[in-house]
Chains A and B, each alone.
Chain A
């Protein structure tokens, strides 16, 4: 577990803790009820966070992947 992996906690908290605090209809965001927009935002956040982790890890794994392709 590298410290960059801790970033993954952000969307987890947004989805599992957020609803207790943002369970409301207003204000509308992009026309959507607030809770719906919050969860859609968490989906986008997940992609961003996992992309950051992926590219941070990638350098580390690239050597290993090259090794596997030869097999």
Chain B
């Protein structure tokens, strides 16, 4: 057994131990399991929300994107700041409404606001459809990390299986309490690894961060600024907008909001989290340091940039530490996603189908569904699938389509009618599915657009259709709805 493998195993054991220990002294009702009994303080809510940013997608994908695409990766910094401005205004009213009504999940919120359990089922299905590919992505990243950082002592598939079992066990037992405790270890370790690598690697290979960028600019002119076509400023800005609107539309992020003890916790996070995102800068430095140090990775292999450059630089034991950090970036978000998926299915699909079920029964169903969902994700992961990144982008676009209907429900007296809410979500999702499956770009869809707009993220098009539907159907149905209300009031 090599020394890297020892660190990896210790991490996995520690994650399992913390996850299971977290349930001590709690009776695991659905409210405790899914939203921690709404008792989490600032630090824990902070870590649960930061956990969304530091997933394997950033650890591997962020550094890999900088390595392969250069300036295109800067968009991560925009993504690291704007969602939190939105959160300051958006989350407190969501939290307050959910607390008053003891809501557990995101579909509960839509169902309650629009007084329609069926809308809740629709939102639950959308959420589930977006979460499964996201879970698959975490598992796939986990497999890569375990196999590379163990110097191939473990295969990628073995890594996936071990990780899946660990997450499924502690999610079923401890729910969000487990995720919270593992988050603490994860963020400390990831912070250390990211900052250390981001400063050490540029220094080691180039003599410093400034010298590194100067060397890259010399070797690959234009790599460090956005292009005029493709990954242009239009592309970057539209992608940041989409990511910002989608950030809190993820069902697990929505539920993380519910865990807060007081709404002040959410407000304070709006100014603490952005500064925390500066860690992304160091992740980008790692990717850039690999550009000239380990050249030649192309295609999907760019995701290996961080580990390739680490393998070339450090002793095995330290590669093990990096691997341990990487594993935690998969386990923590993976557990949040898994718990949320199980809650959506049990609370918002199963319960409406069997309305006579007791709360305790629904809680048991959720806990049994967690391993089942994990098994499904493992099947998808092992079944291959080169299109994971395409799936993730589709998943992001899917959840973003919930934003207009949510926003309308928060503004004063909601003018949007129930049919309009259904129609807008369905039109938005259908557009995303169609565009993703046919892999059309905006340029292909609308050849008559001025060149400057052809790099728009396609999710924006779906969002535009979505909002247009919302407005038109609301105008068409409002009179009928008002008349129905009048006659109901009269009788």
Q: Which residues of A are in contact with B by a Cβ distance under 8 Å? A: 5, 8, 11-12, 15-17, 19-20, 23-25, 28, 30-33, 35-36, 39-40, 42-44, 46-51, 53-54, 57-58, 61, 65, 68-69
Contact = CB atoms under 8 A, between A and B. Distances in A.
A44 B233 CA distance: 21
Interface stretch (B210-218, B350-358, B400-408): B210-218
Given A15-B81, A40-B281, A47-B271, A35 B225 contact: yes
Interface string B65-104: 0000001001001101110110011000000000000000
Contacts of B82: 11-12, 15-16, 46
Interface in B35-85: 71, 74, 77-78, 80-82, 84-85
B267 A33 contact: no
B440 to A, nearest CB: 25
Interface in B272-295: 272, 274-275, 277-278, 281, 284
Nearest to B75: A39
Nearest to B285: A32
B278 A54 contact: no
Contact of A44 (B212, B241, B264, B278): B278
Contacts of A16: 78, 82, 237, 240-241
A24 B240 CA distance: 19
Nearest to A36: B74
Contact of A11 (B85, B89, B237): B85
Given A19-B226, A40-B278, A68-B262, A35 B71 contact: yes
Contact of A31 (B210, B237, B241, B263): B210
A32 to B, nearest CB: 6
B275 A32 contact: no
B233 A11 contact: no
Nearest to A17: B237
B369 to A, nearest CB: 32
Contact of A50 (B208, B213, B270): B270
A60 B304 CA distance: 49
B423 interface: no
A42 B263 contact: no
Contacts of A69: 262
7 contacts: A15-B240, A23-B225, A33-B71, A33-B224, A36-B77, A44-B274, A68-B263
Contact of B275 (A43, A53, A65): A43
Contacts of B324: none
A44 B284 contact: no
Nearest to B224: A33
B275 A47 contact: yes
A28 to B, nearest CB: 6
Contacts of B277: 43
Contact of B264 (A36, A49, A61): A61
Nearest to A69: B262
Given A35-B74, A57-B267, A46 B225 contact: no
B27 to A, nearest CB: 21
Given A16-B241, A42-B77, A50-B274, A24 B225 contact: yes
B225 A25 contact: yes
A43 B237 contact: no
Which of A5, A19, A24 counts the most chain B CB atoms within 10 A?
Answer: A19
Contacts of A68: 262-263
A53 to B, nearest CB: 7
A42 B271 contact: no
Contact of B88 (A17, A43, A50): A50
B209 interface: yes
A53 B224 CA distance: 34
Which of A5, A11, A25, A68 counts the most chain B CB atoms within 10 A?
Answer: A25
Contacts of A28: 210, 213-214
B204 to A, nearest CB: 15
B77 A43 contact: yes
Contacts of B267: 54, 57, 61
A51 B224 CA distance: 31
A47 B262 contact: no
Contacts of A5: 89
Contacts of A57: 267
Contacts of A24: 225
A46 B85 contact: yes
B197 to A, nearest CB: 16
Which 3 A-B residue pairings sit nearest by Cβ, starting from the closest?
Answer: A31-B210, A50-B271, A39-B77
B225 A33 contact: yes
Contacts of A43: 77, 80-81, 274-275, 277-278
Contacts of B71: 33, 35-36
Contacts of A40: 77, 278, 281
A11 B240 CA distance: 13
Contact of A47 (B211, B226, B240, B274): B274
B84 A15 contact: no
Given A19-B226, A23-B233, A31-B208, A54 B270 contact: yes
